Amino acid sequence: MDLEPYVMEDRFYRGGTLTVTHQSDNNYPPNPIIYDPYPEYNGGEWRKEFVGSFRACEGPRGKTLSRTSAQDMISVYPGIQKDFPSALLGSYLATGVDGYVCTDRSSRLGAYGYGNNARVDWNKTNWGSLQSQCFEKNVGRYAPSEIDSRPAKLTLPVRSRFSARNPYRDRPASSPDSLRYKTRSAILLRAWHDMEWTEDLKQNVRSLVMELSLHSGAEYEVFILCYVQDESIPIYTHDAKVMEKVKSRCVPRKFLDMVVLFNDATLDSWYPKIEEHRPKYQYWQPVQVFSQVFQDFDYYWQLEMDSRFTGHSYHFLEKSAEFAKAQPRKYLWERNAYFYIPGTHGIWKNFIKKVESAMEGRKSIWGPKSFPRITPVGPKPPVAFPEDDKYEWGVGEEADLITFLPIFDPVDTKWLFKDMLWEIPRAAPRRASPLAMGRISRRLLHQMHVVQIQRGMGLVSEMTAPSLALWHGLKAVHVPHPLYVDGKWTSKELGRILNTGEPDNINGGTDSIWNWDHRLDHILYRISYMFTTQTAGDLYRRWLGYPINPNQYTDGNFHQDDQGRNWFEIGDLREDLYGPLCFPSMLLLFKEYK
């Protein structure tokens, strides 16, 4: 292999707030300004489209939130660090994510407790109550719920205690006067009962509640979906005091009204026909149960607790959903398999044309991929063949599945989990997307629930949602958000390595980037969003201002294995010269807690 596995990209750390470049006539670095990504609520155009009125909600200071207050909003620097590396994978331009502003740790997290400048007693803030009050103030904006399905106690019920009177129904999209109800999304933060709650983690959860729920008038609601691994902990006790102590063991007190507990017994009671319930292999099972119990949402986002948005979370998720909604279905499954590399593919429009040219004479997925025992619930194609469609079908259609990494065909690869199936033959058509993070519609989650509870059919976590979407003909979209690579590689080099195979089966063969042979770990492990990566941790810790641990090299050597994976921290900070690091909007993911 002709790639240099050991050369790092130090330009991430050779700048800061004092080197931010922007469009102005002077050479002075800009001052931070409030960043407001929200729509013009209650404006003329907004009222022409949506039901009800937006009402501002109360924040942690006991006052109504103000989008003009730096105490309530994040701030950004207009511009980016001088000579900051480009995102070699994905694109700000294609997704609409703002890549022309950056945040340092204070401008991003100051409103949520960083630096203790917020003058808030965070220990007295009830974040669950604030979200409930916000929803009540804005309830007229959302589709009415026919049933009150929420449990009195925030614990996923065992199936025997859950009434079967709650059938699946589509939530109404519009009111009688043809105005649209605003959709609602649940944000599920995956946690473990014994995880360490650092100050940074608390600030991250506060930021998600503020940005996604409180400032939007309850368009999102944030929950902590907590896996209780210790079976001796009584999560189904009827003693209120004991239950309070149980929850306090799992999460900090200020988040108690956000937590939803479950354990292995919970999942076994719902899905006894599938013997595997460990989160590593069935990450969506608790989300499926959650969607049966909490039915008043249209979409469910699952996020890892060790993920971070360096930019505004509402802006990032909304732009991701908008990108997915705008994608035509023609050659969509084929595009989903690629790492989009602007340096070789060009702008997104050109990439679409290149995929179409490459698919000439090849069979494309068009509508549901037939599979025994599955009756598709998705729409039928408007024309018989994709060649007859003018990139119209699917445009304006919400995606049932949004992923942040490519969606590929694992059948002929050496991916470790490809044959982890239950009551499904190995030859079955299926798809996978590494990492069980993203958005799933209520409709798709219901189908995932049905095949497991009724038929005992199951797939490993990363294959479940993509495969059910494939069989049902539902819209699935890989959002090519910006990914940074810590290395001195060109777009051409990465394209040759990351997008192998035939155009109708990118990364679906024996040379797939997803093969578990560790041959290309020196690339995968140095991408800013990946299932295991040193780079994301380095970027985030340096951004927080933490220097490299000087005691990490106990034997005096850099710890790097034959695949080029770094087991040491990198990134030399020079805040005395450059100021604090100022990063554009990124979605980062560190190593798992467990």
Torsion angle, alpha carbons of 113, 116, 117, 119, to 10: 80
- CA dihedral (546, 551, 554, 556) positive or negative: positive
How would you write 338-392 as a 3-class SS string? Answer: CCCCHHHHCCHHHHHHHHHHHCCCCCCCCCCCCCCCCCCCCCCCCCCCHHHCCCC
Our measurement of the distance from residue 153's CA atom to the centroid of its chain's CA atoms, rounded to an integer in Å, reads: 27
Residue 534, pLDDT score? 84
Residue 114, pLDDT score? 94
**Average pLDDT by stretches of 10, the chain with 594 residues:** 62 95 69 97 97 98 96 96 96 98 97 83 93 97 74 79 62 74 98 95 98 99 97 92 92 95 96 92 97 95 97 99 99 99 98 98 96 94 98 98 99 96 96 97 98 96 98 99 94 96 97 90 90 89 88 59 64 91 96 44
Residue 289, pLDDT score? 97
The Cα 36–Cα 209 span in angstroms is 16
Strand partners, 34: 75
Here the tokens at position 413 are 């690869």
| Environment class of 145 (CB within 10 Å of its CB; exposed 0-12, middle 13-18, buried 19+) | middle
Residue 8, pLDDT score? 82
Residue 558, pLDDT score? 58
Here the tokens at position 378 are 């998705």
Can you give the residue ranges of every domain in the chain? 1-138+310-594
Using the 8-state DSSP alphabet, how is residue 55 labeled? Answer: -
Least Cα distance to 418 among 433, 406, 404, 403 occurs for 433
Cβ atoms of 122 and 113 within 8 Å: the answer is yes
Least Cα distance to 62 among 16, 149, 120, 137 occurs for 120
Least Cα distance to 142 among 263, 299, 287 occurs for 299
**CA distances, 23 to each of 77, 108, 207 (Å):** 12, 22, 29
